[in-house]
């Protein structure tokens, strides 16, 4: 798991061949003009999902993990307090792995919480279970999640 800002993103380019394209998309696109939903960047290899919703409580949040995709979750509005725990330490699955959606949920509690403000991103690898979209109910969390094929 990595927490950083777009200004610091270049230091992570060597971690994956598609990171340069992902960060270029985040820097060069008017992200605030994008409607919620999926936006194709490079087919199934690289795409973005825009989310805009009220935050949920820590108790409502479920840890999730992915096998086929790495997430770059860039917060645009609100503060997304994301839960985190190593996937290997999750012992209480809530669901089986759903290959079609590339997701599995856990009942485990996160081992830490990361308050991610606007302009910052969390980068989650398959080894990182995460519980996103936690925030105050009074405010909206708007973010872009870039999905990068492993």
For the chain, list the domains and their CATH numbers: 2-149 (2.60.120.370)
Of 40-44, 83-87, 133-137, the range with the lowest mean pLDDT is: 133-137
Question: In this predicted structure, what is the pLDDT of residue 136?
Answer: 74
How confident is the model at residue 137, as a pLDDT?
65
Q: Give the DSSP H or E segment for 27.
A: helix 19-28
Least confident of 40-44, 45-49, 52-56, 85-89: 52-56
Q: What is the DSSP string of 58-126?
A: TTT--EEE-SSEEEEEEEEES-EEEEEEEGGG---BSS--BTTTTBEEE-SPPSEEEEE-TTEEEEE-T
Segment 108-112 mean pLDDT: 98
- Binned at pLDDT 50, 70 and 90, residue 139 comes out as confident
Confidence (pTM): 0.95
Residue-averaged pLDDT of the chain:
96
């Amino acid at each position: 798991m990595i927490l950083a800002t777009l200004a610091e993103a270049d230091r992570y380019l060597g971690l994956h061949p598609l990171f340069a394209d992902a960060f270029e998309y985040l820097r060069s696109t008017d992200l605030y003009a994008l409607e919620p939903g999926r936006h194709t960047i490079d087919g199934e290899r690289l795409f973005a999902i825009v989310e805009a919703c009220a935050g949920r409580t820590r108790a409502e949040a479920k840890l999730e993990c992915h096998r086929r995709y790495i997430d770059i979750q860039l917060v645009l509005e609100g503060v997304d307090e994301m839960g985190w725990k190593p996937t290997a330490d999750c012992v209480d699955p809530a669901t089986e792995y759903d290959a079609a959606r590339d997701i599995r949920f856990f009942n485990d509690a996160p081992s830490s919480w990361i308050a991610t403000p606007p302009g910052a991103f969390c980068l989650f690898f398959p080894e990182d279970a995460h519980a996103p979209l936690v925030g105050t109910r009074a405010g909206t969390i708007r973010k872009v999640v870039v999905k990068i094929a492993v």
